Structure 1
């Protein structure tokens, strides 16, 4: 499995390797998301070390079973208890030797020294011995200075997810599994209030940033190579935001105009909300609701950066007495909580944090929210149901069940060819996403 280029100048850099091992320990032993664990583990590192720790952590999670097989075969017995973090340090070392363009001696040296950083200095010899044994037995590097990892029968996915993808998408399963282990492209969303897409493409070109426009999502631009947001012209002023092209389709499919009373449900962190506000000046404040106060902080931050405003509710959408004034909405966007199986390439920890039973629980929650929202929709109004999932139970099956049980609901076709829209990872270089448009019969 080929991975992204990274580099190291010398045998130093133990702090970045130790941080990656610590973050992986938190994810895989404590069930913490990588987006939380990694910033905590790297908060005292330089920017360069943060980038390397991030590249290693994400890479290990993409190919975890293959690395576990390599390392496990060299251990006389599993590392447990206080020594378990050393297992993750060995994965960090193996990933560098196989998948990163770091000189072998530098990778080994820095990883061995990281044992001291992790307060396991008495086990440096163990780390050194196993990594050098792996290196002796590893295949030769290819033209990109990387080594081929051993194949995994489930393409580095847990059994339940591998089987579900095979069952739900038999014709596309191989490609989905491959895409899930790939690095995602960086997509931008233009803020129409400040610039049009063609103008911004010229600005990117003037800054030596190669990019191209998407053919379907009207505000989307794909960078040929990812870059720090600080390098994007006008980012700090809100001229452009980072958002995948599949997610950007929500603004088109919601079919809004400035006179509509609009609700964005499960709105955090606010990308789709901002997109709506950037495109229209609404006569009434757009309302947004989410139950997670911490994630709503991101919504407020994003609104402030973009110079926009909305009426924000921190509440359970089902507890309507706590936040709703009784006036129905013309349009509702339900970005439903889901398994996030369409964005695994952006968040590879999802593969190891999700369980099969989670999907049924999420499907039940989705249905509860759908039922609660339906009474908030005006007759003749439209609700756009969206998930970043590729699983039928959360998508097609969910909508089919709702239509059977809700007599006032009808399905609006996405296009002449599609009643609903199921995008799979890699379609149009975008993430996996699902959309269904529902209308309330008058």
Structure 2
């Protein structure tokens, strides 16, 4: 609850909103859901939403650094989650130097104090906010040098995550962690039903937008844009989809007339891609009824159709008993391969989550295998980097079900370069023995 309303469009309001979202993450809520709740509570307008979201995501990316800095700057821990989150957000705005700094440093301090004063949970500590942030500005270089001697601040990942990555990828762990700290690109999938990659690149050039082809139908924009401003998006010429995720549909060897299941389908990116490639009888399944409208919205924009059902991919009550020619099983996981898009994941996950989610994935794969027609293909996908959820899962499934494993990319490590820029996904393709 606030004491006094903050001015609409002010940095203080954005800092306050971001702090409310980060505090919710600290209590276990995923950042997108936390932001949605804050936007609703504040009745935030689009411009304010953008600023709040930007600060919240910055805070999550620099969360480890902020925790170490606060330990150096303050003699005691912040008195409330809201105060801790506000300081994290302000520090995230003060860490960048030069042209990358989004706001004048002293403006950030003043507005953070205003944000603290406006909230009952933080008002008693507005003097502390002022003192801590001004000290950081005075001693910035020294404090950052001291903080970055700690792995938590240097890498911005929990200690268990760093150790697990070192154990799983002893040669590549540094590059993987660095890639996860980069800002994600805005990558588009060109709809070959409506245009070609060459023609679409020409459309972007005519609009003054720089872009680069980084996959068969993948185009990366040099500068992210709101989707409504992307040429051809509303008309269905392109969809937003990471380059690694665009590999799923081609691997399934789809042909017209096939009966296809997209299990765990929301938000529908892979659903749309499959339908762009062939005329299919496709069932898009998701366990969350609130996510089905998102699939429907994407298909409507692409002028494509599929049957949508709410159901658990580990259950059978939604299945009509008719086998599928192709099954895409994008199973639940820790999402450790997409942390650059969802920086809160690393702080929400616990070391034991990997085994629990691997168990969920195994039940889904075993269940869906029974629904696959003889000679049919099942593509197992996960956005995890942990072998227990990816390669070990695939190998165990193949042995358990005597499934023929076909060529597929396997573990794709996240890349953040010019020509190779994609999330970390895993692919394993299986075929059922024909009768």
Tell me whether the two structures share a fold, i.e. TM-score over 0.5. yes
1:412 corresponds to which of 394, 406, 410: 406
Per-residue deviation, 1:95? 1.4
Give the direction of change, closer, same or farther, for the CA distance of 1:334–1:278 in structure 2 (3 Å limit). same
Is 1:289 aligned with 2:285? Answer: yes
1:235 corresponds to which of 233, 238, 246: 233
> Which secondary structure state, in structure 1, belongs to the residue aligned with residue 49 of structure 2?
helix
- Structural mapping, 1:84-103, within 5 Å: 84-99=81-96, 100-103=101-104
Q: Distance in 1 between matches of 2:210 and 2:163?
A: 38
Partner of 1:125: 127
Per-residue deviation, 1:317? 2.4
Q: Distance in 2 between matches of 1:22 and 1:178?
A: 27
Question: Which sections of structure 1, spanning at least 5 residues, go unmatched?
Answer: 1-10, 141-146, 415-419
> Which secondary structure state, in structure 2, belongs to the residue aligned with residue 392 of structure 1?
coil
Q: Is the 8 A contact 1:211 1:222 kept in 2?
A: yes
Per-residue deviation, 1:237? 2.1
Per-residue deviation, 1:354? 0.8
Partner of 2:358: 363
Let me know the Cα RMSD of the aligned residues. Answer: 1.9
Q: Which runs of 4+ in 1 moved over 6 A?
A: none
Q: Distance in 1 between matches of 2:340 and 2:118?
A: 30
Q: Is the 8 A contact 1:185 1:222 kept in 2?
A: yes
> Which secondary structure state, in structure 2, belongs to the residue aligned with residue 139 of structure 1?
helix
> Which secondary structure state, in structure 2, belongs to the residue aligned with residue 286 of structure 1?
strand
Is 1:434 aligned with 2:423? Answer: no
Q: TM-score, normalised by structure 2?
A: 0.91
Q: Distance in 1 between matches of 2:84 and 2:319?
A: 51
Per-residue deviation, 1:12? 4.4
Q: Distance in 2 between matches of 1:280 and 1:256?
A: 6
Q: Distance in 2 between matches of 1:148 and 1:34?
A: 29
Q: Is the 8 A contact 1:12 1:106 kept in 2?
A: no
Is 1:334 aligned with 2:329? Answer: yes
1:371-406 CA distance string (max 9 Å, x none): 101111111111011011111001110111112221
- Structural mapping, 1:380-419, within 5 Å: 380-407=375-402, 409-414=403-408
Deviates further, 35-44 or 371-380: 35-44
- Structural mapping, 1:40-439, within 5 Å: 40-43=37-40, 44-80=43-79, 83-99=80-96, 100-119=101-120, 120-139=122-141, 150-151=147-148, 152-154=150-152, 155-214=155-214, 217-282=215-280, 285-320=281-316, 322-407=317-402, 409-414=403-408, 420-426=409-415, 428-439=420-431
Q: Distance in 2 between matches of 1:153 and 1:68?
A: 12
Q: Distance in 2 between matches of 1:318 and 1:433?
A: 21
Q: Is the 8 A contact 2:334 2:353 kept in 1?
A: yes
Q: Is the 8 A contact 1:15 1:45 kept in 2?
A: no
Q: Is the 8 A contact 2:204 2:211 kept in 1?
A: yes
Q: Distance in 2 between matches of 1:318 and 1:78?
A: 44
Per-residue deviation, 1:94? 1.4
Give the direction of change, closer, same or farther, for the CA distance of 1:313–1:108 in structure 2 (3 Å limit). same
Per-residue deviation, 1:183? 0.5
Question: Which sections of structure 2, spanning at least 5 residues, go unmatched?
Answer: 1-8
Per-residue deviation, 1:48? 3.4
Q: Is the 8 A contact 1:423 1:432 kept in 2?
A: yes
1:348-387 CA distance string (max 9 Å, x none): 0000111111110110011101110111111111101101
Give the direction of change, closer, same or farther, for the CA distance of 1:136–1:358 in structure 2 (3 Å limit). same
1:92-114 CA distance string (max 9 Å, x none): 12111112332111111111111
Give the direction of change, closer, same or farther, for the CA distance of 1:257–1:148 in structure 2 (3 Å limit). farther
Q: Distance in 2 between matches of 1:148 and 1:182?
A: 21
Q: Is the 8 A contact 1:263 1:286 kept in 2?
A: yes
Q: Distance in 2 between matches of 1:129 and 1:247?
A: 46
Deviates further, 356-365 or 421-430: 421-430
